[in-house]
Amino acid sequence: FMMLTKQLIEVRNILKTVNQNCSALQLPSIVVIGSQSSGKSSVLEAIVGHEFLPKGNNMVTRRPIELTLVHTPNAEEEYGEFPEIGMKNITDFNHIQKTLSELNMSVSESECISTDPIELKIFSPNVPDLTLIDLPGYIQVINRKQPPILKRKIVELCDKYIVEPNIILAISSADVDLANSEALTHSRKVDPYGQRTIGVITKMDLVEPEKGVDLLINNEYPLELGYVGMVCKPPGKSGFSRQLSLTQKSDEYFRKNPIFHQPDVQVGLSSLKKRLTTILEENMGQNLYGIVDAVQTELEEVRYQYKVQYNDRHITAESYTADIMDTLKHQFKEFSNSFGKAEVREEIQNMLEEKIMDICKELYYNDSKVVAFPSLCLKDLIWKSKVDQSSALLTKSGIGRTTTQLVVDIVLDELREITSKEPFTYHESSCNKIIDFSSKLLKKKFHTTVDQVENTIKPLKFEVECTDLEWERGKERAISLVDRHIQESQKKLQEIRSQVGRRKLRTAIKYIRHQNQRKLHQFDDSLEGVEDETQILKKEISKPRQYNPILIEKAKEAMGLRKEIAVLKGRAAALRSRQCSSTSGKSCCPEAFLNVISQKLANSAVMFIQIELLNEFMFQFPREVDNKLYYDLSREEVNNFACENPTIRRHIELQKRKDALELVMDKLVYLVRRQNELIRRKELK
Ligand code: GDP
């Protein structure tokens, strides 16, 4: 039978990870209950043979302790482990005690009790195979520091554990009337006949031996599984510091008095150990076939789910993570293939063209003489100086920084785009990591790139030579640039028109014109020529509510756009005229000339951005992905990463359940076979 219990305890621990709430899948363990100071800790420590439980008055047990004792017949060392926190091979029991204290104290005083159990395994040749659950002691008197709900919380916690199929170890002190024993009161509620309750009477040394025997013989509160008497701390001795003689010490008291040597009276540590193992074995044995059935049913269900939902596809956190990395690298590769020299150049040139338009607006289009331009331009020296000024504005605008920044922004935007889609959406913090290390990689190369670009464009700041072919291309681009702006402005104007309404807009514009004129005519008395309009508008002005400030704003905007379109159309015509047909017209055709410059700037910039920044980044990125998102992570982190995706989490969980149940089933099949064999052998004898 020994073998059976050991294996079933293992099975129980595996099942616990699989299904905490399904009672059919539970194997019994021994639950220890008793009032505070009833001697509960002393009994447990006697069984283990070591002092290892936290001591003190201030509610030292705040969480259940699930204690698995593993009998290791041939081992010399005794040691403990806390599987949950990964602490193994602790041979110093003071260390176990300290750890238990800390784990208990992690529950704050205000919470007072946590239902989350501490798992502790103890391996020793001196312990039987048992699973014991130590619970906080029932309290009778609440001291001032303890919150009043504490008492109720402890009862609730114990109630949770004393359910079937668990065995109850009910501890009562011999010097307290059994009628007042909290342990018996609570166990009787769930097990009135004591079919799964063993009584332990502690501190037998504190009552007369006759009275002690009376308690054990079990007339007052009969339990089918009976009572065992214990003396754990003989008077005058403190603690169990000398562990070797532990059993002797605790049993000495009974050995000396023949009154305890009756067949019905069970006393001492060895009796208790024997009793506990027998009862647990019997119970587990009885449960064996039931549990086999339950596991079988559960396993079939899980296998079915696994087939239907995942088509029996095996997945691991590692394989999922590797897939994600591959997807990311693949998408990045696609991007880097589509973002070559030509594309980078085009992006830079587009940006520079917008700059050209800004410069032209500032230097030319706001100049009223621009209307007479270009016929005026050839004769006027001003235009010559203007073209130098505008080219300087372009070449000295910090091209190195703006172009490099532009490319950096494009790359980062692309990465944001990639990571904003499934499956990356589940992995927010990893996506942040990607952006983060990418920014860092790009930043590292940023300044050298900026400097290199600035260095190579330096000559262009002083002189720009231009071939006919370059001029032709610059002009073409300038024309389409101006045309594009015309279209954009027209579109905006159209939008305002449809927003406000043509007529309303027209009158509002007239109104503004009139206002402007009035301002002019305040210095000029002659109002002739505009009388008509004035008459109409006077009426309008008498209804000021019609002109709300938003309408006026829109009207002003429309007027601006109209003017802009007119100027741009003039420019488009000029660029198409003969005057702009060759380099000699450069001062009359600044858009074309600036475009020639921008092409040269873009060519130089793209070269260094490509070499210094992009090539390096494209090479490093996939390596960083592997390092930062995979190799640098612990197993647990990889697991957490995969489980961020709910679909994968469910998949892995179901798979784990299936694996655990299969393992359990294997063990159970083996045990059943052994059990049957044992029975057959017994029958043969
Ligand atoms: P718990 O609060 O129920 O865990 O009780 P403890 O095991 O800490 O014991 C409470 C007190 O009773 C301690 O002071 C122990 O020394 C004492 N005690 C425990 N067992 C015995 C015993 O068999 N005989 C005597 N005289 N005192 C005991």
* Residue 609 DSSP code: I
What is the β-pairing status of strands 79-82 and 30-34? unpaired
Q: Which two tokens stand for residue 632?
A: 């640098």
Cis previous bond, 374, omega within 30:
yes
Position 21 scores a pLDDT of 62
* Residue 138 DSSP code: B
Residue 133 banded pLDDT, cuts 50, 70, 90: very high
**CA gap 506, 497 in Å, rounded:** 9
**CA gap 314, 152 in Å, rounded:** 47
Q: Which of 113-127, 167-181, 458-472, 542-556 has the lowest mean pLDDT?
A: 542-556
* CB atoms near residue 144 (< 10 Å): 4
Ligand 1 shell residues, CB under 6 Å: 34, 36-42, 137, 202-203, 205-206, 231-233, 235
**CA gap 153, 554 in Å, rounded:** 70
Q: Which of 45-59, 299-313, 445-459 has the lowest mean pLDDT?
A: 45-59
Host H or E run for residue 584:
none
**CA gap 468, 489 in Å, rounded:** 31
* Residue 267 DSSP code: B
To test the pocket of ligand 1, the residue of 37, 57, 246, 253 to mutate (highest count of ligand atoms within 8 Å of its CB) is 37
To test the pocket of ligand 1, the residue of 41, 65, 232 to mutate (highest count of ligand atoms within 8 Å of its CB) is 232
Residue of the CA atom closest to atom 9 of ligand 1? 39
Q: For residues 76-97, give the mean pLDDT.
A: 91
For the segment 396-415, what is each residue's pLDDT rounded down to a tens digit? 888 899 999 999 999 999 99
CA of 283 to the centre of ligand 1 (A): 29
**CA gap 669, 663 in Å, rounded:** 10
pLDDT at 538 over 80: no
CA of 38 to the centre of ligand 1 (A): 6
CA of 87 to the centre of ligand 1 (A): 29
Residues 6+ apart with CB under 8 A from 616: 441, 445
Residue of the CA atom closest to atom 1 of ligand 1? 37
CA of 172 to the centre of ligand 1 (A): 11
* Full-model pTM: 0.63
Contact present, 15 and 25 (Cβ < 8 Å): yes
DSSP 169-217: EEEEETTS-GGG-HHHHHHHHH-TT-SSEEEEEE-GGGS-HHHHHHHHH
Position 240 scores a pLDDT of 45
CA of 267 to the centre of ligand 1 (A): 17
Q: For residues 589-595, give the mean pLDDT.
A: 89
**CA gap 581, 471 in Å, rounded:** 8
Q: For residues 374-382, give the mean pLDDT.
A: 64
Residue 1 banded pLDDT, cuts 50, 70, 90: very low
CA of 528 to the centre of ligand 1 (A): 117
Q: What is the CA radius of gyration of the chain?
A: 45
Residue of the CA atom closest to atom 16 of ligand 1? 233
CA of 180 to the centre of ligand 1 (A): 17
Q: Which two tokens stand for residue 636?
A: 């647990």
Note whether ipTM > 0.95 here: yes
Contact present, 79 and 89 (Cβ < 8 Å): yes
pLDDT above 70 as % of the chain: 88
Host H or E run for residue 109:
none
Residue 375 banded pLDDT, cuts 50, 70, 90: low
Strand order in the sheet with 118-124: 87-90, 79-82, 118-124, 65-71, 130-134, 30-34, 167-173, 197-202, 227-229
